[in-house]
Amino acid sequence: ERFLIRRFEGGDPDTAIVVTVGLLTLITGLAGWIWSYNNLPFPSLFPVASIDILGAVVSVRSLGTTLVIIAIMVALQLVFLRTKLGLALRAVADNPQSSAFSGLPVGRLLMVGWGLAAALGAIAGALVAPQLTLTPGMMDSALVYALAAVILGGLSSPVGVVVAAWAIGVLENLAAVYVPFIGHDLKIAVPFILIFVTLIIRPQGLFGRKVVVRV
């Protein structure tokens, strides 16, 4: 963060996203070179069983993963909206220069923010690995859906990203079942189509705010 990410934090947020994606690709390649790309089993944090909910069979692992994600989302909202640390992180993310003039330790807060993001990434990996098997590139497909949700929902709207992620999952599975030329083999194309259409029609996302620059 100090030697790479911080160089791009004063510009467009999309630049930081591209830099982190490139860094992920580099780290994934190094991990595959060191430990190989062989799929390895990873122990599940939840029992491998299923339960019946209103006639639908749901795995305990999927239900537990969903509950953990909801708990993390609620906790993050409380931190960002109700604590001094969260408000400071939001201020630094929105305008680092004004935050520095206000006396906030911008450098330390940025380190805390990226550290929090890394911790959440580790939790996500621990939740996903039992379902996908452990491999350096196991999060590549998840990254596509994450980027699609961010672009569709809007980078400035956390709630919009959650709604967009849900919508992408529903649309992808509906397309796989009801659109003959897509099917299950090409359903990964759905998030790419949504990214393309959103960037053309509404670049700030469905729930994002349009940036107005005063001159």
pLDDT tens digits, 9-31: 665 666 777 788 888 888 888 98
* Residue 27 within any structural domain of the chain: no
- The pLDDT score that the predictor gives to residue 67 is 93
Given a contact cutoff of 8 angstroms between Cβ atoms, the answer to whether 128 and 143 are in contact is no
Say how far apart CA 90 and CA 107 lie, in whole Å: 14
Which among 122, 206, 118 is positioned nearest to 168, based on CA atoms?
206
Given a contact cutoff of 8 angstroms between Cβ atoms, the answer to whether 74 and 86 are in contact is no
If one counts every other C-beta atom within 10 angstroms of the C-beta of residue 65, the result is 20
- The pLDDT score that the predictor gives to residue 49 is 85
* Residue 19 within any structural domain of the chain: no
Given a contact cutoff of 8 angstroms between Cβ atoms, the answer to whether 207 and 157 are in contact is yes
- Is the dihedral angle over the CA atoms 75, 1, 20, 10 positive or is it negative? positive
* Residue 147 within any structural domain of the chain: yes
Say how far apart CA 215 and CA 202 lie, in whole Å: 23
* Residue 192 within any structural domain of the chain: yes
pLDDT tens digits, 34-65: 988 888 888 888 888 888 888 878 888 889 99
- The pLDDT score that the predictor gives to residue 203 is 84
What is the number of domains present in the chain? 1
Low-confidence ranges of the chain (pLDDT < 50): none
* Residue 66 within any structural domain of the chain: no
Q: What is the largest CA-CA distance in the chain?
A: 60
- The pLDDT score that the predictor gives to residue 57 is 85
* pLDDT, the chain, mean: 85
Given a contact cutoff of 8 angstroms between Cβ atoms, the answer to whether 194 and 152 are in contact is yes
- Cα-Cα end-to-end distance for the chain: 31
Which residue do the tokens 């630049």 mark? 15
* Residue 2 within any structural domain of the chain: no
* Residue 200 within any structural domain of the chain: yes
| CA distances for 26 relative to 23, 134, 140, 156, angstroms | 5, 18, 12, 27
- The pLDDT score that the predictor gives to residue 87 is 93
Residue-number span of the structural domain to which 208 is assigned: 139-215
What residues are paired with 57 via a beta bridge?
A: 52
176-179 — which CB contacts under 8 Å span 24+ positions? Answer: none
* Residue 162 within any structural domain of the chain: yes
